Amino acid sequence: MALILAFALVVVMVALGAYYFQSPYYSGVDRTPAQPVPFSHKHHVGELGLDCRYCHTSVQQSSFAGVPESEICMTCHSQLWTNADMLAPVRDSLRDDEPLRWRRVHDLPDYVRFDHSAHVNNGVPCEACHGRVDRMPLTTQKKTLFMQFCLDCHRNPAPRLRPPDAVFEMGWEARRGVDRQQLGERLMARYHTPSTERLTDCSLCHQ
């Protein structure tokens, strides 16, 4: 009897553990942190059609995509919505030379190296990790960003790769009738994508 109870306890513990580590509480999926300014990607990307790189300026050259400087916000908002209360923190920031302090939505552990430039220059679209930001009124984490998530793609990048001009597009689809895997493999040759062995080296991301 005791043995059965102990076994049941172990099963319950394992199940609870599995549930916990897959839960949004732990992974952060669907988490929408409150921001100093309720910035809407839906409005700026989906409705106005701004390019990602207009604000995330270093995404093609640096590991860090870049969060826009207050100055960048003010290129437009010195002309538009100049007195909106919602934008007061941005105006104050530039006036007082005091940075806005955004809450990080997509947060990888500190022992992980992630390089934005290595991905967007080689056909991995923003959407692959950030989801359809053009539909997000407030920025929300959509993927678990667990190591398993990274490896899914690193083991077989082909289905997610896009041509260079589609990397920053939201909701891009390959033309009808095109084999996604074949297209991806052609793109891999074009991007000189490293071998799967290289893409799954531990030290590629843990250095």
Partner 1 sequence: MSSIIAREHGTDMAALRRKLAGRSGRHYWRSLEELADSDDFQRLLEEEFPRLAPLWEGRVSRRGLLGLMAASLALGGLTGCKPQPEERIAPYTRRPEDLLPGRARWYASTLPLDGYARGVLVKTFQGRPVKVEGNPEHPASLGATDSIAQAEILGLYDPDRSQTIRYQGTAGSDAAFLEQLQAQRRHWAAGERRLCLLTGPLTSPSQHALIERLKRLYPSTRWYRHEPLANGAAHQGTRQLFGEPREARYRLDRARVILDLDADMLGSGPAKLVHARHAMGRRRPDREDALLNRLYSVESTPSITGASSDHRLPLAAAEVPALAAALAARLGVPGMADQAENSPVDPAWLDALADDLRRAGAEAVVIPGDTQPAALHALAHAINHHLGAAGTSVEYSAPVAPAADGDLADLSRAMGEDRVDALLMLNVNPVYNAPAGLAFEERLARVPFSVHCGQYRDETGRAALWHLPAAHPLESWDDARAFDGTVSLMQPTIVPLFGGYTAQQVLAAFAGRYRADPRELVREHWRQALPGADFERHWHSALQRGWIDGTALPTSLPTLRNTPPPPPPTDRDGLLLQWRADPALHDGHYANNGWLQELPRPLTQLTWDGAALISPALAEREGLSEGQRVRLTLAGRSLDTPVWIQPGQPARAITLFLGQGRRDAGRVGNGVGVNAYRLMPDHGAFAAGGVTLEVLGDRAALASTQQHHNMAGRDLLRETDLAHFQEEPGFAQPDRVEEPISLYPEWDYPDHAWGMSIDLNSCIGCNACITACQAENNIPIVGPEEVRRGREMHWIRVDRYYAGPLDDPSMHFQPVPCMHCEKAPCEYVCPVEATQHSSEGLNEMIYNRCVGTRYCSQNCPYKVRRFNWYHYTEATAELATPAAAHNPDVTVRSRGVMEKCTYCVQRINQAETDARNEDRPLEDGELRTACQQVCPSEAIEFGDLNDRHSAVSRAKASPLNYAMLEELNTRPRTTYLAGVRNPNPAIQALEAREAPA
Residues found near partner 1 in the complex (CB under 8 A): 20, 25-28, 33, 57-58, 60-64, 66-71, 93-94, 97-104, 107, 109-111, 113, 115, 117-118, 121-122, 191-192, 194-195, 197-198, 200-204, 206-207
Closest CA to 169 of 125, 139, 135: 125
Q: Is 23 helix (H, G, I), strand (E, B) or coil?
A: coil
Shortest reach from residue 125's CB to partner 1, in Å: 16
Nearer to partner 1 by C-beta: 7 or 64? 64
Closest CA to 130 of 92, 104, 100: 104
Q: Are 200 and 150 spatial neighbours (Cβ–Cβ below 8 Å)?
A: no
Shortest reach from residue 39's CB to partner 1, in Å: 12
* C-alpha distance from residue 16 to each of 29, 61, 179 (Å): 18, 43, 41
Separation of alpha carbons 111 and 89, rounded Å: 33
Separation of alpha carbons 154 and 135, rounded Å: 26
Shortest reach from residue 19's CB to partner 1, in Å: 13
Element containing residue 91 per DSSP (H, E): helix 88-96
Q: What is the DSSP letter of 67?
A: P
Shortest reach from residue 49's CB to partner 1, in Å: 23
* C-alpha distance from residue 51 to each of 39, 54, 103, 166, 170 (Å): 15, 6, 22, 11, 10
Shortest reach from residue 141's CB to partner 1, in Å: 11
Shortest reach from residue 204's CB to partner 1, in Å: 6
